[in-house]
Structure 1
Amino acid sequence: MAQKPINLSAAYGVETPEQSRQLYADWADTYDSSFAEDADYILPDQVARMFVAADGHGPVLDVGAGTGLCGVALNRRNITPIDAADISPEMLAQALRKDVYRDVIEADLTIGVPVPRGVYGGVVSSGTFTHGHVGPDVLPGLLRIAQPAAVFALAVNARFSAQSGFTAALERLQNGGWIRGLTLPEIAIYGPKATGAHSKDTALIAVFSKI
């Protein structure tokens, strides 16, 4: 049987953590060239820019780091140190080659990131809160590993946010006194050279601080 094409539609169709591991194991070697470059994928840089604008600082955890594109964008802005967490060891191997991460952590976010409580001054994510991936149920686990006043900049696919109740979950955390200063600017995921069915997709960047 011929292997299904590895592309954004395949990624959005993932239904289990094991399917995600397999897809990204197969995609890791070509992800940067066959997707990020071809699709003019600007979301990682957008997340890094907003994190810095919110006075974010290290140590930072890059959640769902993939091949390390957001880490590169943070490093370019002199944010250090940065750790990477991802479900795929193959993607993390590619991220390590970029030489911007202090450490990499293989982690299924639905189970949790295996680090002590309150170790990070910032948390970013540029591609994991989207169709077929991870929803708002992991937010308490991310708050656990963040220091008081830690800055978050989390990209959430706008259509997925509406379907999953992501914005409502963030507003509950703010109303409950867990986070403050929540803003949700909507920005482009892809640049002007993008083509195809998803080229006009947008993301909400959830920027806030832990209380």
Structure 2
Amino acid sequence: MTEKTHDLSGAYSLQTPEDSVALYAGWAKDYDQTFATAEDYRLPAATAEAFKAAGGSGPVLDVGAGTGLCAAALTALGIGPIDAADISPEMLKVAGEKGLYRALIEADLTKGLPLPETPYAGVVSSGTFTTGHVGPEEIEALLPIARPGALFAIAINGAHYEAAGFSAKLDALAQGPIRNLWLPEVRIYGENGRGAHKDDTALIALFEKA
């Protein structure tokens, strides 16, 4: 792949899982400082808050866990235990050092996740389901790891919701495998966000496994 810059433009230009591995390998150590703090990245906390407000509980799988920003918010809300799944071993290493997770799972979601010994009561994902990262087909691929009635909170970049096929996929799933689909809209960045994407929003797909 062409080398990606360690910033938002690099993340938005990802096209393959291999691109993601390469980008985050070099970005993991200072991701929290150079992106999350610098850009006032609010989406992980908003995803955790939506999960909590909808009645979510553990055990939870954090999909595309990154450095553990969503897990930190879940923990602060009293939700756990939490497992992490991410394609980047470097990001998982940073997340593991924070002591937030029960288990760390290195996995490419486009190739499926290992089935847990005990199905999860909740699944969250913040910043992963978007163009160049993970597409709508992988939402369905998450269902086998969860128990019936499990609550999902999947944040999807609003700019890609229709164009990338997320709307059509969720509408189809709502006809059988999932129920009670709700799509609150939240800001991805806080008031101190900078740059061209500072006003971007996300839809948090809240639903239960039927």
Give the shorter-chain TM-score range. Answer: over 0.9
Q: Offset of 1:118 from its aligned partner?
A: 6.1
**In structure 2, distance between residues paired with 1:99 and 1:116:** 20
Residue matched to 1:78: 78
* 1:46-93 residue CA offsets vs partner (Å, 9 max, x unmatched): 000010111111110000000000000000011110000000000000
Summarize the alignment of residues 41-60 of structure 1 with structure 2, pairs less than 5 Å apart: 41-60=41-60
- How many Å separate the matches in 2 of 1:108 and 1:68? 17
Identity of aligned residues (%): 57
Give TM-score scaled by structure 1 length.
0.96
Q: How far has the Cα of 1:116 moved from its partner?
A: 3.5
CA distance in 2, matches of 1:153, 1:197: 26
Deviations 1:96-123 (A, max 9, x none): 1111100010010000111237610000
8 Å CA contact 1:84–1:105 kept in 2: the answer is yes
Q: 2:180 corresponds to which letter in structure 1?
A: G
**What amino acid is aligned across from residue 16 of structure 1 in structure 2?**
T
Letter matched to residue 73 of structure 2: A
CA distance in 2, matches of 1:184, 1:125: 14
- CA distance in 2 between counterparts of 1:15 and 1:171 reads 25
Distance 1:111 1:190 in 2: 30
Deviations 1:154-202 (A, max 9, x none): 0000011121110121111011x11111011111000001111000000
Alpha-carbon separation, structure 1, partners of 2:150 and 2:104: 20
Letter of the 1:200 counterpart: D
Aligned-pair Cα RMSD in Å = 1.4
Aligned partner of 1:184: which letter? L
Give matches, 1:45-124, under 5 Å: 45-116=45-116, 119-124=119-124
Q: Which residue pairs with 2:179 in the alignment?
A: 180
Q: Which residue of 2 aligns with 1:155?
A: 155
Contact residue 118 and residue 148 of structure 1 kept, 8 A: no
Determine the C-alpha separation between the residues in 1 that align with 2:188 and 2:139. Answer: 22
C-alpha distance in 2 between matches for 1:185 and 1:103: 29
Other-structure match for 1:146: 146
Letter in 1 for 2:162: A
Residue 196 of structure 2 corresponds to 197
Q: Note the alpha carbon deviations across 1:126-166, whole angstroms, 9 max, x for none.
A: 11011211111112210010000000000000011121110
> Partner residue of 1:7?
7
Can you give the 5+ residue segments of structure 1 that lack an aligned partner in the other structure?
A: none
Deviation, 1:23, is 0.4
Compared CA separation, residues 147 and 4, structure 1 to 2 (3 A): closer
Residue pair 2:189, 2:198 contacting (<8 A) in 1 also: yes
In the alignment, which residue of structure 1 is the partner of 2:18? Answer: 18
Letter in 2 for 1:174: A
Contact 2:115 2:144 in 1 (8 A): no
SS in structure 2 at match of 1:190: coil
Name the counterpart of 1:137: 137
User: 3-state SS of the aligned residue for 1:90?
Assistant: helix
Superposition pairs for residues 24-35 of structure 1, below 5 Å? 24-35=24-35
Q: How many residues align?
A: 209
Residues 166, 117 of structure 1: CA spacing in aligned structure 2 closer, same or farther, 3 A cutoff?
farther
